[in-house]
Structure 1
Amino acid sequence: MQMLARRLDSRRLSVSLIVIGCVLLGFLLRFLAREHATTDAVQYLIPWYIFARDRGIGGLGEAFTNYTPFYSYLLLITAQFNGLGQPLTLVKAISFVFEFGCAIVVALIVWSANKAPSRACVAFCCVWLAPTVIFNGAVWGQADSIWTFFTLVSIAAFMQHRNGILPFAVAVAVKAQGVFLGPFVLGMMLRDKIHWAWLAAVPAVYAALAVPVVVAGRPIASVFSVYMEQAETFHRLTMNAANIWVFAGSVPYQMGVPIGLALAALGGLALAALLARSKREGPEFILLVACASLMIMPYLLPKMHDRYFFAFEVASIGLACLNARYLPFPVIAQVSGVLSYLGFERNIVMGLLPAALCNTLLAIYLVLDLSRDESGFRFPKLAWLGYASSTAGLFAYLLLADAGENMSLTYLLFTGLVVGTALMVIKGSRCASVPERSVAGAAPAHPPVN
């Protein structure tokens, strides 16, 4: 018994040291990228921060950002630490806080599902160090970790058979991209028999968070037209997003927007109906549907940015930690995400095609997986090796050759290899259909949530 206790203590110590090392490494990477400035940072983020710093609370009466009021409050709070770093560093610190929060929530999701501390620690470390997470906040200073944090809290609540509409409403109030979880929330409302009146929480939360800026004198019309103004900022079917619109370059903008909205609406309703009618139970299935919602919405919608798959990239890490059969999800998503980011960061737009093809495979796999009851996994080692080597070759080609619009046989070869081996990885991760196993710690059938 003493020997067993020593082994357990040694294992806990090893896990703790690994987690501490990952946390420190994450902070180091963010520190090294703190002064990296994109054009968006120079034109928007830094001026917004300076305005908040100079005007203080009195500046709330003006629309000094093109985001919702919630982000203005965060800038005002951050400005209180002025002098501890450069303006851009302090702005990026907002993302760092919520990225850390995302890592904690994903770890808690994994822990509550299977009570395995090692898996929860892996989930935390993988989110905190994920390449797209580093890219989004540390390199670009973007705020996608904020709405993603509240999205994950909503998912975690539903997984524990609690009403998660309020955190979902906060996510939508932070950024419109919070609506990507909408089909999942609708399905859970139907599944758990949550009263329709709870939908009023979405506009109510937005209105409540807007009270300080309205009191400060900002016109109501300006407060409630933020999302409409954002929608009119760009007139392109895809803003480097690796989605279906990468393949529709010849479709006119005026035609593509309504078609994309209709496709997303139909896809979202179908997903909600599937969740509501499915007999499958357990936290793994709930998280799987949430990931499907976060993937399919930005995949079908037009006018999406490269970073709008952020929530799926983070949530899928938790799913893989619950069942290693889903390991292709976060791995391929990270590769696709970085390939997409290179379009803005380095103007290497040729990475969008393989990224979109890989995301297409993931979307199809999600739909097929949701339509079947099966579990178990196996590792297609040869396929993983092929995917890793072909992906490395593609990144090397894009970075070293600095491929913009130029297409070559080498590019086509690497693109084909990446997509082909990604398909092998996804296909190899599926086993013969067997009855779904219960997950340790899964709750039994639950009563309606009112």
Structure 2
Amino acid sequence: MGIQPRFNVDIVVWLLLAAALVVSFIARLKVFDHQSPDFRFYLVHWYEHVRAEGYPGFRTEFANYNFPYLYMLYLVSLFKVPTIIAIKSISIFFDYLLGFAVWWLVRGIRPESRFLPVFAAITVLCMPTVILNSAVWGQAEAIYVSFLMLALGFWVRGRFPWAWLVFGVSFSIKLQAVFLLPLLAVLWLIDRRQKLWAPALFLVAPVLAPIPAIIWGRPVGEAYGVYVNQASGYFDSRTSNFMAWMRVPWQQALKMDYLGSMATAITMGILLISVAAFLIRHKGRPGIDSIMAMAAFATMVVPFFLPDMRDRYFYAGEMLTLVWAFLRGRRRAWLPLLVSVPIMLEYTFGLFHSNPGVSSAWRSFALLAAIVVLAMDAFRNDPEVGGQVVEEPVSRTPEPEKGSAVEKAAEGGGT
């Protein structure tokens, strides 16, 4: 005889989720004091520069991050709080914006489920890699990926001008947002619902972002050159991508310019051929589920095959893989582990100099396996319509829910 609840179990579910949200914040506080080498040698100096110089400090080049992040440093410097609080509060704030963006994205795709979007958001906030990246490392991945997720949230709702505008904001913060551009560009090309001028909105944020620095005295060429400078090469055979299979010391690989050119060409070829085959497979009418799997594939395959990548450049792919796992339910519940565990091991090695116990080559095989699974999922028919592709990738009208929250959670929100 099963349990006979004495009250609505949904209340317990909401309380547990609220407790998980509190735990995610406490976990960040516990590691808040850690200062990584990147934090001490770069972020602290950038912050001290804008705090000492104010906005005139933007006249000279003092950092290799894009202007939106540096403007944030300047704004928090006005509050006269301790340096570590000022810097890490930015990253942690965007952790929670990222959680909201994931909730909003999943809600747009599965509007009939009350709990699935919340579970997805809470999971993001409790992921070790997310906590390590912001609260320990003080990095900016959550900033640009939160806007990337918001852009996709607008896209699945058919609000394409807003999607392109917010996608441009993501790109203006970190160039890694461009990993998703080929897919979005092709979808714009084939979707008659999108205005021909909509992609022009993508340029708004990248064009406007350097203007305050130019007004404060930065040369125009130098201000806009930051987008080129941020794409500088970085070769390291310890990174969990294809470089891990090479027996070339990273100091020597730095001199192998042809390797970067060759890998870039191969990567773009893989991505473009995959997108073309994706369109052929779905007869030019892919549904939302297939598109989300393809988005996760695109943001994973690019950092995997480019040599000038760090493990944290998989951040967008990691988040989209998690979203895809929630959309697919129990069938793909294991998939995020193939991505998050190797990256977490690399994070702990870089931050704490701990022995990962697994070589970078084996970690890269796990990431490659995830990429293969995502590709297979992207090329399958959309499951939500019985194996047929959907004509219009828009959100469905929510229907009244039946059953308790426990039943909904067990279903995984998908097929």
Assess if the C-alpha contact under 8 Å between 2:109 and 2:288 holds in 1: yes
Instruction: Judge which range, 238-247 or 87-96, deviates more.
Output: 238-247
How has the CA–CA distance of structure 1 residues 256 and 109 changed in structure 2, closer, same or farther, with 3 Å as cutoff?
same
Q: Which runs of 4+ in 1 moved over 6 A?
A: 437-441
Assess if the C-alpha contact under 8 Å between 2:214 and 2:220 holds in 1: yes
Alignment of 1:138 with 2:135, yes or no, is yes
How has the CA–CA distance of structure 1 residues 241 and 160 changed in structure 2, closer, same or farther, with 3 Å as cutoff?
farther
**2:118 aligned to which of 117, 121, 137:** 121
State the aligned residue count. 378
Deviations 1:373-394 (A, max 9, x none): 2649xxxxxxxxxxxxxxxxxx
**1:359 aligned to which of 362, 367, 376:** 367
Q: Distance in 2 between matches of 1:287 and 1:217?
A: 43
Within 5 Å, which residues of 2 pair with 1:238-317? 238=236, 240-250=238-248, 253-277=256-280, 278-279=282-283, 281-317=286-322
* Aligned-partner residue type, residue 129 of structure 2: T
* Aligned-partner residue type, residue 99 of structure 1: D
Per the alignment, residue 408 of structure 2 pairs with none
How has the CA–CA distance of structure 1 residues 203 and 118 changed in structure 2, closer, same or farther, with 3 Å as cutoff?
closer
**1:56 aligned to which of 38, 54, 57:** 54
**Identity, % of aligned positions:** 25
Q: CA deviation at 1:57?
A: 2.3
**5+ unaligned residues in a row in structure 2: which ranges?**
398-415
Assess if the C-alpha contact under 8 Å between 1:240 and 1:304 holds in 2: no
Per the alignment, residue 89 of structure 2 pairs with 93
Deviations 1:74-118 (A, max 9, x none): 1012113323xx312321111111110111111122222222121
How has the CA–CA distance of structure 1 residues 167 and 44 changed in structure 2, closer, same or farther, with 3 Å as cutoff?
same
Q: Distance in 2 between matches of 1:351 and 1:336?
A: 10
Instruction: Judge which range, 274-283 or 63-72, deviates more.
Output: 274-283
Q: Distance in 2 between matches of 1:178 and 1:225?
A: 17
Assess if the C-alpha contact under 8 Å between 1:171 and 1:178 holds in 2: yes
Assess if the C-alpha contact under 8 Å between 1:95 and 1:145 holds in 2: yes
Assess if the C-alpha contact under 8 Å between 1:98 and 1:146 holds in 2: yes
Assess if the C-alpha contact under 8 Å between 1:182 and 1:293 holds in 2: no
Alignment of 1:323 with 2:320, yes or no, is no
Deviations 1:26-53 (A, max 9, x none): 1111111111011110011111112222
How has the CA–CA distance of structure 1 residues 372 and 30 changed in structure 2, closer, same or farther, with 3 Å as cutoff?
same
Instruction: Judge which range, 152-161 or 121-130, deviates more.
Output: 152-161
Instruction: Judge which range, 204-213 or 95-104, deviates more.
Output: 204-213
Q: Distance in 2 between matches of 1:306 and 1:82?
A: 33
Assess if the C-alpha contact under 8 Å between 2:55 and 2:74 holds in 1: yes
How has the CA–CA distance of structure 1 residues 275 and 169 changed in structure 2, closer, same or farther, with 3 Å as cutoff?
farther
Q: TM-score, normalised by structure 2?
A: 0.83
* Aligned-partner residue type, residue 100 of structure 1: Y
Q: CA deviation at 1:442?
A: 3.8
Deviations 1:90-149 (A, max 9, x none): 211111111101111111222222221211121011000111101111111100011101
**1:108 aligned to which of 104, 108, 115:** 104
Q: TM-score, normalised by structure 1?
A: 0.77
How has the CA–CA distance of structure 1 residues 440 and 235 changed in structure 2, closer, same or farther, with 3 Å as cutoff?
closer
Within 5 Å, which residues of 2 pair with 1:188-267? 188-193=187-192, 194=194, 197-232=197-232, 235-236=234-235, 238=236, 240-250=238-248, 253-267=256-270
Q: Distance in 1 between matches of 2:80 and 2:303?
A: 36
Q: Distance in 1 between matches of 2:149 and 2:208?
A: 21
Secondary structure in 2 aligned to 1:299? helix
Q: Distance in 2 between matches of 1:341 and 1:435?
A: 39
Instruction: Judge which range, 44-53 or 241-250, deviates more.
Output: 241-250
Assess if the C-alpha contact under 8 Å between 1:184 and 1:272 holds in 2: yes
Within 5 Å, which residues of 2 pair with 1:406-417? none
Assess if the C-alpha contact under 8 Å between 1:159 and 1:287 holds in 2: no
Tell me how large the CA RMSD over aligned residues is.
2.7
* Aligned-partner residue type, residue 149 of structure 1: S
Per the alignment, residue 370 of structure 1 pairs with 378
* Aligned-partner residue type, residue 220 of structure 1: V
How has the CA–CA distance of structure 1 residues 166 and 61 changed in structure 2, closer, same or farther, with 3 Å as cutoff?
same
**1:435 aligned to which of 387, 393, 406:** 387
